[in-house]
Structure 1
Amino acid sequence: MSIQPFAALACPLDGAPLHREGSAWRCASGHNFDIASQGHTHLLPVQHKRSLDPGDSKEMVAARRRFLNAGHYQPIAEAVARAVLADLPPEAACLDAGSGEGYYLRQLAAAATDQGQSLAILGLDISKWAVLAAAKQDARPNWVVGTNARLPVLDGTVDRVLCLFGFPVYAEFARVLKPGGRLIQVDAGPDHLRELREIIYPTLKPQRPADTSAPAGFSARPGETVRFSLALDSQEQIADLLAMTPHLYRASAEGRAKAAALNKLSMTVDVRIASFDSVHATG
């Protein structure tokens, strides 16, 4: 078994195959993308950015790294790895579209190692700070700064796409998946972090019914719910959790102050793992 380099990168400017030459990726048209000393590559042209520094900030990435590396979401990582590795060919490629600081891919790599699986892994995130943190923690996967709206990946080259608490672009996911490839999508369930939300918001919005229909280009497979209790016992852990969620910005100053005053908090973790097979049109 081995974790392999991901070789099916595409030029973000013209879609042509990228080939590694020394410390850079180049396409036939002459576009050149340097590989940083930490091993990651920027494949997000300035014209594809919606802000100067898109995605999670340096501080949010640091909070997520501390929280996840402490093992608080380990049951989610284990369930995701099982979903990815189920029915996977002996030699396969996986893209994490919105990989953050790389925690879930590192856990996947460990599980693949245990199963004797040969896996080429690509972690992509729009945040340069997240990709830098990922590359510093594990150099085996390829890490790139990029956008789900224009994945720098060749058509039909990936066996699994992960989208964890992220921003799915189903047309792009369908494009890069091989026939019979699979999308694994993880989203918050109705009770996810409910106890924290009850503290920081005056009232909770009614939960919308879950949409279990398959997106265009996919057929639905049986999903899974991961649910467990999580106890945090310090202000720092609670602050890190809040900092890595959208609730940090959605909550009022009063709500954030209430969270900052907590020394311990027990919460429900409730996430849905949806699985979809790629359905490629023929003819």
Structure 2
Amino acid sequence: MDQRHHPGRRCGMSLFCCPLCAAPLERTEHTYRCPAGHSFDISREGYVHLLPPNQKHSAAPGDDKAMAAARREFLSKEYYRPLLNTLCSQILSLSGEAPRILDAGCGEGYYTAGIYAALTAAGRQPVMAGTDISKFILRYAARRCREIEFAVASSYRLPLADESVDLLLNCFSPLALEEFRRVLRPGGCFLYVVPAADHLWQLKEVLYDRPYPNEEKETPYEGFTYRAIVPAEDTIHLPCPADIQALYHMTPYCWKTPKEGAERLAQLEKLDCRIAFRIHIFQKRRTPYERQSHPFGPDPH
């Protein structure tokens, strides 16, 4: 089915702006178009390509087909549902009735679509967009939720206007702070998800002779005030080699694991594995004179 004609697709003014002239984009059934006449076709799956050729560093940047498929297969089985539930809870508490939300580096849209569903179930009317540099993975995202706009774009050159979003989510993706500050409105929130010290520890014990914990730290960023650091943790049971391999191939470990470690993992029939995340929540300062507060101190706003 060609989803470009599906009635669930949003038409009208877009959250995105033109990557060539920065003018607002209007979405129709088939294209995005700006007042200057620049036009961008909507793909068969429903995403739009807003990454100019001079911003591409390879012919097919971002996750390849194999990694995109592994991530889709793993996340579709809800192994990371504890993280999604925690994100939904936090975003519901931070959002108004009609929040404008960007998921920068959205991948295959698992968290983007889950957050949209939670907000609409709570009676909110979110306007949401997701960006990723990989067109392969956005094919899955655009099919997952027709009401969300998805675009191939770089986090370092986001096709959004200044101060155009209320909340920005970044899960395990490049930290493009200058762009995040630019597109987030004053007082808006930025959620940055990173692995905790013992995330996937049992997987790492199989892959490496001497695994080491991930670094955990509190890093203040210019222009933002810390609101909180929220944990999301659980132990997951992977009952078959296919799920173990899907997890392995969606992580950076598949690029840098010694041959012996990969062979040990291939022999496993099942695996119980710790998942542990930290959600760093920041608020964009309304004025340049607001001071940084401790992560667990009161919200100055």
TM-score under structure 1 length normalisation:
0.94
Counterpart of 1:274 in structure 2 is 280
Range that drifts further, 119-128 or 199-208: 199-208
Q: Secondary structure at the match of 1:101?
A: coil
Residues 3 and 118, structure 1, Cα contact 8 Å, conserved in 2: no
Partner residue, 1:190: 197
Please report how far the alpha carbon of residue 280 of structure 1 lies from its aligned counterpart in structure 2 after TM superposition.
Answer: 4.1
CA separation in 2, counterparts of 1:179 and 1:223? 20
Confirm or deny that 1:171 pairs with 2:178: yes
Which stretch of structure 1 is more off in the superposition, 78-87 or 2-11? 2-11
Per-residue Cα deviation, 1:160-216 (whole angstroms, up to 9, x for no partner) = 1000011111111111111111001110010000111111112124643x2313211
Quote the offset at 1:4 in angstroms.
6.6
Question: In structure 2, do the counterparts of structure 1 residues 257 and 87 end up closer, same or farther at CA, with 3 Å as the change threshold?
Answer: same
Q: 1:83 is paired with a residue of what secondary structure?
A: helix
Aligned position for 1:96: 103
Residue 254 of structure 1 pairs with residue 233 of structure 2: no
Give 1:20 deviation, angstroms. Answer: 2.5
Counterpart mapping for 1:225-244 below 5 A:
225-244=231-250
* Contact kept in structure 1, 2:199 and 2:214, CA below 8 Å: no
Q: What SS does the aligned partner of 1:179 have?
A: strand
Structure 2 residue 157 is the aligned partner of structure 1 residue 150:
yes
Distance (Å, rounded) in 2 between the aligned partners of 1:193 and 1:73 = 12
Q: Any unmatched runs of 5+ in structure 1?
A: none
Tell me whether 1:74 sits opposite 2:114 in the alignment: no
- Equivalent residue, structure 2, for 1:221: 227
Q: Secondary structure at the match of 2:136?
A: helix
Whole-angstrom CA distance in 1 between matches of 2:116 and 2:28: 26
Q: In the alignment, which residue of structure 2 is the partner of 1:199?
A: 206
Deviations 1:26-46 (A, max 9, x none): 223322211113221000111
Q: Which runs of 5+ in 2 are unaligned?
A: 1-7, 290-301
Residues 99-150 of structure 1 show CA distances to partners (whole Å, capped at 9, x for unaligned) of 1111111111221122111100101110001111111222110111111000
CA–CA separation in structure 1 for the residues paired with 2:169 and 2:232: 16
Q: Percent identity?
A: 35
Local SS of the residue matching 1:86: helix
Amino acid at match of 1:254: E
Q: Take 1:69 and 1:205, find their aligned partners in 2: how far apart are those partners? A: 29
Offset at 1:261?
A: 1.0
Match of 1:53 in 2: 60
Contact 1:4 1:121 in 2 (8 A): no
Q: Partner letter of residue 47 of structure 1?
A: N
How has the CA–CA distance of structure 1 residues 14 and 198 changed in structure 2, closer, same or farther, with 3 Å as cutoff? same
The counterpart of 2:269, out of the listed 251, 263, 269, is 263
Aligned partner of 2:117: which letter?
A: A
Which one-letter code corresponds to 1:213 in the other structure? Answer: T
| Residues in 2 aligned to 1:158 and 1:205: alpha-carbon distance in whole angstroms | 37
Alpha-carbon spacing, 1:195–1:212, altered in 2? closer, same or farther (3 Å) = same
Residue 21 and residue 74 in structure 1: after superposition, are their counterparts in 2 closer, same or farther (change >3 A)? Answer: closer
**How far apart are the structure 2 equivalents of 1:185 and 1:137?**
23
Give yes or no for contact 1:3–1:109 (8 Å, CA) kept in 2.
Answer: no
Q: Which amino acid in structure 1 is aligned with residue 281 of structure 2?
A: S
Structure 2 SS opposite 1:29: coil
Q: CA 1:263–1:48 in 2, change beyond 3 Å: closer, same or farther? A: same
Q: Supply the distance in 2 between the matched residues of 1:243 and 1:174 (Cα, whole angstroms).
A: 32
Q: TM-score, normalised by structure 2?
A: 0.89
Moved over 3 A (4+): 2-6, 205-208, 280-283
Q: Structure 1 stretch 144-153 or stretch 54-63: which is displaced more?
A: 54-63
8 Å CA contact retained: 1:4, 1:118: no
Provide closer, same or farther for how the CA distance between residues 4 and 212 of structure 1 changes in structure 2, counting only shifts above 3 A: farther
